[in-house]
Chain A
Amino acid sequence: MKEITKNQDAQFMLLAGFIIAIGLVITTIILNSIIFEVNLAIGGGNELSKYDIINLVQLTKDEFRSAYANRSIDDFNRQLNNFNGNLSKLYALHGEGVNISWETSNWNSNRYANLTENGLQGGKTNWTVIETVRNSTIRVNVTNPGSFQINISNSAAGSWTVTPGYNFTASVTNVTPPYSISFINGASTSGNYSITGNTTYGKNFTRARDYVLNGSIGFFMSRIRTNLTIPITVPW
């Protein structure tokens, strides 16, 4: 027995055994993760950025409004053609296809927008155009006068409700500021309006609307195809 405990001949064998044991443990751990990885089956791909499209719609709206300021349909078409061409090139660099189309039939045939919140027949009929106004000039051209009214009100100091005729222009003097300007029964008629003035915070404002133009925005990526038509009110 003494000889066995004192015998040191096999220490390399023991060392080798120990190393093999550690090696086995490491191999098992690596093997485990390999098995796990092999089982994974997720592939990559281009993902849709919804903000890209929302951004695109906003850009298009701004461009429509800017192009409308040209006051001629030809110039409007020219500016939007330019915009469409440049935008397509820019998006193509990111591997995205973009196409903007538009129609100006309402403008062409002088069909004014409804006096609702979004300018469409089904839009909100009673709505507030602007709040906290200090002074303002209202110009409204109504195609079908009758039930459409403009309400100028200050909750603390009374209100003034007016039923505008075909052409109505007025500077608000009989309501103490700050007041808000609301349209009542906007769905009952169409027309155009322009309200200019400044707010109690001293900022100038313009709220105006003539027509609703339709803009179609096509957006194409490898996995996404979309085409949205958005009514865009001009000039605001």
Chain B
Amino acid sequence: MKSKSFFKNNDAVAISLGFILTFAITVIVFTALIISFYSLTQYMEKSAMRENFKMIGGGLSAKITAVDTLVNFTNSNSGIVNMLEYEFSLPESVAGKTYTVNITNSPYRIIFEADNGARVVSLFNTSANFIPVHIYSASENFAIKYNQSSSSLYIEEQ
């Protein structure tokens, strides 16, 4: 068949074949749409978790730094910290999934990890010694405290 005649040819396939083709195409497009929507949901879930972890991490490092500043200020005034507690809460789950927070002291990092592979690292710094801790989101309330006798900051579950 010459190309000219192919472009000018207005005869189509049989109605039954046309129906099958249309149906098949519809099914394929619909399936592709559903699959892409599902993966989009998954992607959104992960990126929402990452955003969340970044926010929680930023907040947590600001809290640790605030406590550290107060300790530092008191020490520089030759004072004693009789009690210093800063409570904070972590959401039990983010995007419907629980997660763990690993706070390390060399280097100073807050590492968030969830089962679906979402992982975010936030940085912080303290001048007082910080005792590393691994916390699980299942218990929601925690407090940053200071121990005067060992001059160290630690996180305790409430």
**A: which residues have CB within 8 A of B?**
1, 32, 35-36, 38-43, 45, 47-48, 50, 53-54, 57, 118, 120, 122-123, 216, 223-231
Set A41, A228, A229: member contacting B93, Cβ < 8 A:
A41
User: Can you identify 24 A-B contacts, CB atoms within 8 angstroms?
Assistant: A35-B44, A35-B45, A36-B51, A39-B48, A39-B95, A40-B52, A40-B94, A42-B52, A42-B55, A42-B91, A43-B89, A47-B62, A48-B86, A120-B78, A223-B88, A224-B85, A226-B70, A226-B81, A226-B85, A227-B82, A227-B84, A228-B79, A228-B84, A230-B78
Q: In the docked arrangement, what's the CA distance between A35 and B94, Å?
A: 12
Interface residues of B in 43-83 (CB under 8 A from A): 44-45, 47-49, 51-52, 55-56, 59, 62-63, 66, 69-70, 73-74, 77-83
Min CB distance A14 to B, Å, is 18
Inside 8 A of B51's CB, which chain A residues have their CB? Answer: 36, 40
Q: In the docked arrangement, what's the CA distance between A224 and B83, Å?
A: 10
Set A43, A57, A118, A225: member contacting B83, Cβ < 8 A:
A225
Say yes or no for B34: interface residue by CB 8 A criterion: no
> Closest A-chain residue to B97, C-beta based?
A39
Q: In the docked arrangement, what's the CA distance between A48 and B59, Å?
A: 11
Inside 8 A of A54's CB, which chain B residues have their CB? Answer: 69-70, 73
Cross-chain contact A39 with B78 (CB below 8 angstroms): no
Q: In the docked arrangement, what's the CA distance between A223 and B85, Å?
A: 8
Interface residues of B in 72-120 (CB under 8 A from A): 73-74, 77-89, 91, 93-96
Min CB distance B37 to A, Å, is 8
> Closest B-chain residue to A229, C-beta based?
B80
> Closest B-chain residue to A24, C-beta based?
B33
Set B48, B63, B69: member contacting A40, Cβ < 8 A:
B48
Cross-chain contact A1 with B10 (CB below 8 angstroms): yes
> Are A224 and B55 CB-contacts (below 8 A) given A53-B70, A57-B77, A230-B79?
no
Min CB distance B54 to A, Å, is 10
Cross-chain contact B66 with A230 (CB below 8 angstroms): no
Q: How would you classify the secondary structure of chain A's contact residues: helix, strand, loop or mixed? A: mixed
Cross-chain contact A226 with B83 (CB below 8 angstroms): yes
Inside 8 A of B45's CB, which chain A residues have their CB? Answer: 35, 39
Cross-chain contact B52 with A41 (CB below 8 angstroms): yes
Min CB distance A224 to B, Å, is 5
Inside 8 A of A48's CB, which chain B residues have their CB? Answer: 63, 66, 86
Q: In the docked arrangement, what's the CA distance between A32 and B41, Å?
A: 8
> Closest B-chain residue to A226, C-beta based?
B84
> Closest A-chain residue to B46, C-beta based?
A39
Cross-chain contact B73 with A57 (CB below 8 angstroms): yes
Cross-chain contact B87 with A224 (CB below 8 angstroms): yes
Min CB distance B76 to A, Å, is 10
Say yes or no for B40: interface residue by CB 8 A criterion: yes
Inside 8 A of B41's CB, which chain A residues have their CB? Answer: 35
Inside 8 A of B87's CB, which chain A residues have their CB? Answer: 223-224
Q: In the docked arrangement, what's the CA distance between A118 and B78, Å?
A: 7
Inside 8 A of B59's CB, which chain A residues have their CB? Answer: 42
Inside 8 A of B49's CB, which chain A residues have their CB? Answer: 39
Inside 8 A of B89's CB, which chain A residues have their CB? Answer: 43, 45
Q: In the docked arrangement, what's the CA distance between A40 and B87, Å?
A: 21
Inside 8 A of B79's CB, which chain A residues have their CB? Answer: 228-231
Q: In the docked arrangement, what's the CA distance between A120 and B76, Å?
A: 13
Q: In the docked arrangement, what's the CA distance between A230 and B70, Å?
A: 12
Q: In the docked arrangement, what's the CA distance between A229 and B79, Å?
A: 5
Min CB distance A225 to B, Å, is 5
Inside 8 A of A230's CB, which chain B residues have their CB? Answer: 74, 77-79
